[in-house]
Amino acid sequence: MTAFPARSALTVCFAHVAYRMGDRFTVRSPDIRFVEVRDRDAFEAAIPGADVVVVSGMWRNELLANAPKLRFIQSISAGVDQYDKARLAAAGVRLASAQGSNERAVAEHAISLILAMSRQLHLARDNQAKRHWRGMIGDLGKREDELGDKTLVIVGLGRIGSRLATIARAFGMHVIGTKRDPSTGAGAADEVVADAGLHDVLPRADYVALTCPLTPQTEKLIDTRALAAMKPSAFLINVARGRCVDEPALIAALNDGRIAGAALDVAVEEPLGAASPLWAMPNVLVTPHSAGETRQYEDNVLDLLMENLDRLWRGESALKNQVV
């Protein structure tokens, strides 16, 4: 394999529909050539000349066939399920994730969703749109609630899950986390169980928050059986990936009142289709995969990019957040 291109010979391609990566990159590295594209056609036209690509949702594995110079992909997202790792390795293309770049934002979004469901802010917004001032509620089961002494089960006690656990405990919640190796999760949560123990703790949960990556093991992890194990008063919070949930099973459980509600930042198909029943359900709060959005995101990703470029220029084999 040839040496990684020198700084003066490098071309970076930023590919994202919205993020202003180029503006921030110019401030940091005005001497490095780059192109910035906003749609797939422009990305396809630019990739033959790119040594480095900074991309997330716009990536398609078929592009590799038209990328003879490509040596490194810095993912803009923490999730990397869209990349064919074996194909990248065979082509000699390195890949690093953006893990950690939005952990604070996602954890804060998750606790915001928990608070919104607890305080019924989604219903308040609906009432505002109808110009309806809701009266006092006598039925205890229909009132707003408090988080203190409630139990939160966090599925995936990684960086995001651990930060969420810390925030939730500050609200007085009892936190149970699931982790592949529960011996490494002490400190963030009150209890840590192995992934296989999820169904044992679901009946205790007032809130179940998904912060896990999408893997073959987590796809449709929350299915009919898992939903049946939850209390009718429990809420599901998903800031992970839509495919971690069996969506038809969730819709059925919500319709039948087998769980109290759901706050969903992700969907199986995105954007969420206009015909999805989730849009109209009063016990569902939908946000548009915005949990990771933050005004600091571009700089957070560029921190990772520059760290990894420096490592590649030094000829180091290990990248930060290395995937391939």
User: Which residues are annotated as catalytic?
Assistant: 241, 270, 289
Dihedrals phi, psi of 182, to nearest 5 degrees: -65, -15
Q: Are 102 and 94 in contact (CB under 8 A)?
A: no
Cα 248 vs. chain centroid, distance in angstroms?
21
Torsion on CA atoms 44, 45, 51, 53, rounded to nearest 10? -40
Dihedrals phi, psi of 230, to nearest 5 degrees: -80, 155
Q: Are 220 and 244 in contact (CB under 8 A)?
A: yes
Between helices 103-119 and 121-129, what is the axis angle to 10°? 70
Q: Are 70 and 10 in contact (CB under 8 A)?
A: no
- Name the strand (E) or helix (H) holding 115: helix 103-119
**E strands present in the chain:** 11-15, 33-37, 52-55, 72-75, 94-96, 151-155, 174-179, 191-194, 207-210, 235-238, 261-264, 284-286
Cα 64 vs. chain centroid, distance in angstroms?
25
